[in-house]
Chains A and B, each alone.
Chain A
Amino acid sequence: VQFGAFQHSCSNKIYLLLVRSVSVDLNNDASLVIDIPDALCERDKVKFTVHTKTTLSSFQKPEFSVPRQHEEFIWLHDTIVETEEYAGLIIPPAPPKPDFEGPREKMHKLGEGESSMTKEEYAKMKQELEAEYLAVFKKTVQVHEVFLQRFSSHPIFRKDRNFQIFLEYDQDLSVRRKNAKEMFGGFFKNMVKSADEVLISGVKEVDEFFEQEKTFLLDYSSKIKDATAKAEKMTRSHKNVADDYNHISGALNSTAADNNTAFKKHLEKYAEVFEKLRKLEDRVASDQELKLTELLRYYTRDIQAAKDLLYRRARALADNENSNKALDKARLKGKDIAQAEENQKQCLQKFDKLSESGKKELTSFKARRVVAFRKNLIEMTELEIKHAKVRRLKCCVYHYMFTRQCSGSHGKPGNLREF
């Protein structure tokens, strides 16, 4: 069984049930609304349909859709990062690459075990695989959508030329994947950056706000990273439990298939019970994943973006210090004073600008984070309550069914009243 073929067959089925997991829109501005209503899968590529509705005059039409690939999103992110002007802004974190490793692995297992599995087990496995594939797909689309919505809701980014091109240009942007050299270059840049971070950490902070922010973000970033990893582990084991239910249900069904006594019907009912439990457990797990893990994941990346902003400002601060020193030196030597003055002035300007917009950005980041956490926690809790209630009801219904069934001489009256 080929994964590609499976994807192909799945893409017919894919319908995106988008549950917005991470909220980004602080302003409910309707002048530029972006969503990804639809996407399709080819091999390991995902083509997203980016749909825009706008009243802004900078666009040619009020409503349009373009097909975009993950690489083009990355391109957009990289161009924004490289734009000097935006150094004082928190740049929305790039969406992670679509990762279909999980379903692919399962597909492999399914293909391998096809001969040794019963019909019921195979069906169960396939069902599992489809559900997982769908979940990954959903998540992928969502994270790309959120990326764009961050731009559209930002007063400066929404005016960015490249962003508008990304939304409007209906041809391939002909960005290619980064080649090895560029990849290495990126890696090298990161090395330099972290070395630089260490270097400039010696520079004395002049603004208490940033000093505090830095301490906070460093601490928070490591904590949230940890929490994300733990939440991922937790949801994964929850999924495993759901899968086990599924297998049990399948095994009960195949037991029933080989049974010729009155027990057969019971077994089928039990299989049904476990199938229901599977469904519910699965939903709990995936809602937890979507509402909690995804939130933590997103803010892990966003905090990194905020830290990057701090780094850029700290760099400017260091540059400013250096230019001050250079000016002092020039004055001492009486040489190139004008140039040094000019340089110092520029550095100071840049630093001030960065500090000012950085302060704004970090403040709004905080508000955004709190709102997002609030929204997701409420939603998750409501879902948890709902699922638990549904499960309770299910248990009641089945319990009632089974206890009445054995209400003969040995039927123990269920002690349900206590619940």
Chain B
Amino acid sequence: MAASSERSPPPFPDSEEPELLEDSDEGADAFTGTSISEMDSPSPDSTRPPKDIFNEPLEDIFSDPLSNINSEPQKKVDTKIPSPSSDEVVDLFSDPLDDDSEVISSPEVQNPMPDLLNEPVQAPKSDVLGEPPVHKNAARQQYIFEDPPKGSSKSSSVKKAASAELFGDEDEEDLFKELPKVVTKKPQPLGPPVDVFTEVKSDVKVKPQVKDDPTDLFTEEALTAPAPKPSASSSSSRTNGVHSEEHDLFSEATVELSLDSPRNDRKKKDAVKPSVSAPVAPVASSSSKAPSKTLEELEEEESEDTFDLNISVTNPEKVGDGMNAYMAYKVSTQTSLTMFRSKMFTVRRRFSDFLGLYEKLSEKHSQNGYIVPPPPEKSILGMTKVKVGKEDPSSAEFVERRRAALERYLQRVVSHPSLLQDPDVREFLEKEELPRAVSTQALSGAGFLKMLNKATDAVSKMTIKMNEQDVWFDEKIQDVENEEQHMRKLHIMVESLVNHRKELSGNTAVFAKSVAMLGSSEDNTALSRALSQLAEVEDRIEQIHQEKAANDFFTFSELLADYIRLLGAVKGCFDQRMKAWQRWQDAENMLQKKREAEAKLLWANKPDKLQQAKDEIAEWEAKVTQYEREFERISATVRKEVIRFDKEKARDFKRQIIKYLESLLNSQQQLIKYWEAFLPEAKAIA
């Protein structure tokens, strides 16, 4: 079937190239990496030898980003101007939220790799055509990994472009993501044509020196864009309050975008970073101008809460013996809040106490539409193992897992402003002895009851057909439903990752043994030695895999498990709101009935009963008003709660991802160490 088969493209010109090609996307990162160090290093022109990136990249990149930030904008301008294509710049602004794939697709940093992996077709083909820049780039990138190129200045323009791109959009999207949205929305009512922005930009490109002359730019801007003037002046007045180097700021802002670009705000923020309270000012002023607060603004505002309460759950200890044994945990609180009696205190609590706290809080606050964080589930199996088993690793893991979960649970409770005020929470944290939580004692009974409740809830949910008037709720309920589905799926996948990682760890250990055996059979001394060294390396790597599995589990899988439970609580809030609505509707119906009854009485001319009917109507009218108000109140609470929840969620995820990356970073560091130690052994084989 010659017709059905197609010939693959001709060979590479030389056999080394494929490898280079494969590396090229890493190369791109090397660029971005370089660019970072460039950006934060005091002088933008001092291109570091790329070798440094690996030897000590962190010192440069992370040494102190904030302190250097002030010098950053100038550099950004410098680097942006030489960028060759106007599309790039437009792209950068029109789509600030795009990621660094933008960087990759920029013409200078031609990078075939993402294609190669995503769609193996295209990349190879482009290669067949023998695009010289690709190869050159690849080769250069290779350098960066292998040995430092001498003529690094040759590639510096590419690097700069890459850095400008990378940081151009990253800054915008990630650092202050919420801000740009808020601000860019504003000019619209004022009606500045979108062209203005591009116009300004193209002007800048024609004369790149413009940044040296801020006044010039102002006139330029005034000429091309009269419309945004009001907002420009408003932002200048804002700037006045915060930043002294106003002129500088303006010139830069104009080079990059028009005056009221989100960058402006961002830079101000950057500039005044050291003081925490200052950044609030522009936000507040912008929100006061906006007619209605957007969700993002709310988030931004709330995120400024200061909160000083540290809770940790430590020292899990088995108390008692046999089936009556239980685990007790040390709950330590550290705070400067005046509502507590002292700044530091610890109590011992057992698992059922935590559950008891939840029961109490749930009873009080759920009906008002609060999201009460759910505690970790009871696990009969895990606990029985702990009770029976002695020093089983799986039960140790169980205990640690539960301890961490309890800690997160408490932290969530106290970080909720309303729940923190609850006397039961304070009591839980402070009081030496708590009355035993009875309801959770007989787990199966309580669990069963809960299940029954849930079942009746589900039935009533089906019978209640609420015609949702509020679009926000309509969408949000659907979103939460979807999100829960996704989180469940995600959780399953992360569990699978954890399991596969454990498997990998086991298999690596087995392989290490096998290689050690092979090494002992090998009759070439150097090779034999190298093989047994390899076995040792693999043994250590097994450890790394194990740590990674724990990392996957504790930072990621557990986070998802928490949020699946929390989303359940959010849904519970929606249900409470629906119940309130139902109550209101029922009252409304009842009132209707009473009115009809009154009309009948009037018709039948029975004045003796009329007064009673009138009383009843008055009573139900009052009830309707009350229930309606209650519904409105609960709606407002739920809404606020959900917004708060979304914000917490984003923050939690970010924190965990950062933690995840840190741990990953650590393991890479170890891997590098191990393999670098092995390399001379391999080379010694002769």
A-side residues, CB < 8 A to B, are 4, 8, 10-20, 35, 37-43, 47, 127, 130-131, 134, 216, 219-220, 223-224, 226-227, 229-231, 233-234, 236-238, 240-241, 244-245, 247-248, 251-252, 254-255, 258-263, 265-270, 272-273, 277, 279, 283, 366, 369-370, 373-374, 377-378, 381-382, 384-386, 388-410, 412, 414-417, 419
Per the bound structure, the CA–CA distance linking A397 and B57 in Å amounts to 10
Query: Least Cβ distance of A110 to chain B in Å?
Result: 16
Q: Which residues of B contact A224 (CB under 8 A)?
A: 518
Given contacts A223-B521, A393-B54, A408-B279, list 10 more A-B pairs with CB under 8 A: A15-B9, A17-B21, A43-B1, A230-B513, A233-B507, A269-B99, A373-B531, A384-B675, A391-B664, A399-B662
B522 within 8 Å of A (CB atoms): yes
Per the bound structure, the CA–CA distance linking A415 and B662 in Å amounts to 8
Is A42 in contact with B685, judged by CB distance below 8 angstroms? no
Q: Which residues of B contact A415 (CB under 8 A)?
A: 662
Is B5 in contact with A42, judged by CB distance below 8 angstroms? yes
Is B36 in contact with A378, judged by CB distance below 8 angstroms? no
Is A42 in contact with B1, judged by CB distance below 8 angstroms? yes
Is B279 in contact with A373, judged by CB distance below 8 angstroms? no
With A258-B486, A265-B173 known to touch, is A15 a contact of B8 (CB < 8 Å)? yes
Per the bound structure, the CA–CA distance linking A402 and B500 in Å amounts to 27
Q: Which residues of B contact A17 (CB under 8 A)?
A: 12, 18-19, 21-22, 124
Query: Least Cβ distance of B362 to chain A in Å?
Result: 26
Query: Least Cβ distance of A212 to chain B in Å?
Result: 9
Is B668 in contact with A416, judged by CB distance below 8 angstroms? no
Query: Least Cβ distance of B142 to chain A in Å?
Result: 10
Is A402 in contact with B58, judged by CB distance below 8 angstroms? no
Is A8 in contact with B6, judged by CB distance below 8 angstroms? yes
Is B62 in contact with A396, judged by CB distance below 8 angstroms? yes
Q: Which residues of A contact B355 (CB under 8 A)?
A: none
Is A262 in contact with B178, judged by CB distance below 8 angstroms? yes
Other-chain contact of B490, A251, A402, A412, A417 (Cβ < 8 Å): A251
B425 within 8 Å of A (CB atoms): no
The 9 lowest CB-CB distance pairs between A and B, nearest first, are A15-B124, A37-B11, A17-B18, A13-B121, A244-B497, A255-B486, A374-B685, A392-B668, A237-B504
Q: Which residues of A contact B118 (CB under 8 A)?
A: 127
Per the bound structure, the CA–CA distance linking A283 and B113 in Å amounts to 12
Per the bound structure, the CA–CA distance linking A373 and B685 in Å amounts to 8
The chain B residue sitting closest to A243, CB to CB, is: B500
Chain B 468-485 interface 0/1 with A at a Cβ cutoff of 8 Å (1 = within): 000000010001001100
Other-chain contact of B58, A219, A223, A226, A419 (Cβ < 8 Å): A419
Is B486 in contact with A254, judged by CB distance below 8 angstroms? yes
Other-chain contact of B175, A392, A393, A404 (Cβ < 8 Å): A404
The chain B residue sitting closest to A137, CB to CB, is: B8
B-side residues, CB < 8 A to A, are 1, 4-12, 15, 18-19, 21-23, 25-26, 29-30, 32-33, 36, 53-54, 57-59, 61-63, 65-66, 97, 99, 117-121, 123-125, 127-128, 145, 170, 173-175, 177-178, 181, 273, 276, 279, 295-296, 299, 303-307, 475, 479, 482-483, 486-487, 489-490, 493-494, 496-497, 500-501, 503-504, 507-508, 510-511, 513-515, 517-518, 521-524, 526-527, 530-531, 534, 646, 649-651, 653-655, 657-658, 661-662, 664-666, 668-669, 671-672, 675-676, 678-679, 682-683, 685-686
Q: Which residues of B contact A370 (CB under 8 A)?
A: 524, 526-527, 685-686
With A216-B523, A247-B496 known to touch, is A402 a contact of B174 (CB < 8 Å)? yes
Q: Which residues of B contact A234 (CB under 8 A)?
A: 504, 507-508, 510-511
Per the bound structure, the CA–CA distance linking A311 and B685 in Å amounts to 30
Is A227 in contact with B33, judged by CB distance below 8 angstroms? no
The chain A residue sitting closest to B7, CB to CB, is: A40
Per the bound structure, the CA–CA distance linking A190 and B274 in Å amounts to 80
Most buried by B among A39, A252, A255, A395: A395
The chain B residue sitting closest to A5, CB to CB, is: B4
Query: Least Cβ distance of A323 to chain B in Å?
Result: 33
Q: Which residues of B contact A382 (CB under 8 A)?
A: 679
Per the bound structure, the CA–CA distance linking A251 and B174 in Å amounts to 21
Is A397 in contact with B32, judged by CB distance below 8 angstroms? yes
Other-chain contact of A265, B97, B145, B668, B672 (Cβ < 8 Å): B97
Is A396 in contact with B511, judged by CB distance below 8 angstroms? no
Is A419 in contact with B669, judged by CB distance below 8 angstroms? yes
Other-chain contact of A240, B181, B504, B658 (Cβ < 8 Å): B504
Q: Which residues of B contact A402 (CB under 8 A)?
A: 174, 654, 657-658, 661
With A255-B490, A262-B178, A407-B66 known to touch, is A378 a contact of B683 (CB < 8 Å)? yes
The chain A residue sitting closest to B666, CB to CB, is: A419
With A16-B11, A244-B500, A373-B685 known to touch, is A272 a contact of B99 (CB < 8 Å)? yes
With A12-B6, A15-B120, A385-B679 known to touch, is A251 a contact of B486 (CB < 8 Å)? yes
A-B contact pairs, 13 of them (CB 8 A): A13-B119, A237-B507, A248-B493, A248-B494, A258-B479, A370-B524, A373-B527, A377-B534, A381-B675, A392-B672, A396-B57, A404-B175, A406-B654
Is B5 in contact with A8, judged by CB distance below 8 angstroms? yes
Q: Which residues of B contact A254 (CB under 8 A)?
A: 486
Is B486 in contact with A269, judged by CB distance below 8 angstroms? no
The chain A residue sitting closest to B304, CB to CB, is: A409
Is A399 in contact with B661, judged by CB distance below 8 angstroms? yes
Main secondary structure of the interface of B (DSSP, over half): helix
Per the bound structure, the CA–CA distance linking A220 and B121 in Å amounts to 42
Per the bound structure, the CA–CA distance linking A216 and B523 in Å amounts to 8
Is B174 in contact with A385, judged by CB distance below 8 angstroms? no
Most buried by B among A10, A12, A13: A13
Is B517 in contact with A366, judged by CB distance below 8 angstroms? no
The chain B residue sitting closest to A13, CB to CB, is: B121
Per the bound structure, the CA–CA distance linking A92 and B6 in Å amounts to 31
Query: Least Cβ distance of B417 to chain A in Å?
Result: 15
Q: Which residues of A contact B655 (CB under 8 A)?
A: 406, 412
With A263-B646, A396-B33 known to touch, is A283 a contact of B22 (CB < 8 Å)? yes
Query: Least Cβ distance of B126 to chain A in Å?
Result: 10
With A18-B18, A263-B649, A405-B654 known to touch, is A366 a contact of B524 (CB < 8 Å)? yes
Is B276 in contact with A409, judged by CB distance below 8 angstroms? yes
Query: Least Cβ distance of B12 to chain A in Å?
Result: 8
Is B4 in contact with A42, judged by CB distance below 8 angstroms? yes
Per the bound structure, the CA–CA distance linking A403 and B683 in Å amounts to 40
Is B527 in contact with A238, judged by CB distance below 8 angstroms? no
Other-chain contact of B8, A11, A272, A378 (Cβ < 8 Å): A11
Is A404 in contact with B672, judged by CB distance below 8 angstroms? no
With A258-B479, A395-B664 known to touch, is A241 a contact of B490 (CB < 8 Å)? no
Is B504 in contact with A393, judged by CB distance below 8 angstroms? no
Q: Which residues of A contact B173 (CB under 8 A)?
A: 265
With A393-B53, A409-B276 known to touch, is A38 a contact of B8 (CB < 8 Å)? yes
Per the bound structure, the CA–CA distance linking A127 and B119 in Å amounts to 7
Other-chain contact of A248, B497, B665, B685 (Cβ < 8 Å): B497
Per the bound structure, the CA–CA distance linking A35 and B518 in Å amounts to 31
With A41-B5, A381-B675, A390-B26 known to touch, is A13 a contact of B124 (CB < 8 Å)? yes
Is B120 in contact with A13, judged by CB distance below 8 angstroms? yes
Q: Which residues of A contact B649 (CB under 8 A)?
A: 263
Per the bound structure, the CA–CA distance linking A64 and B170 in Å amounts to 53
Query: Least Cβ distance of B5 to chain A in Å?
Result: 4
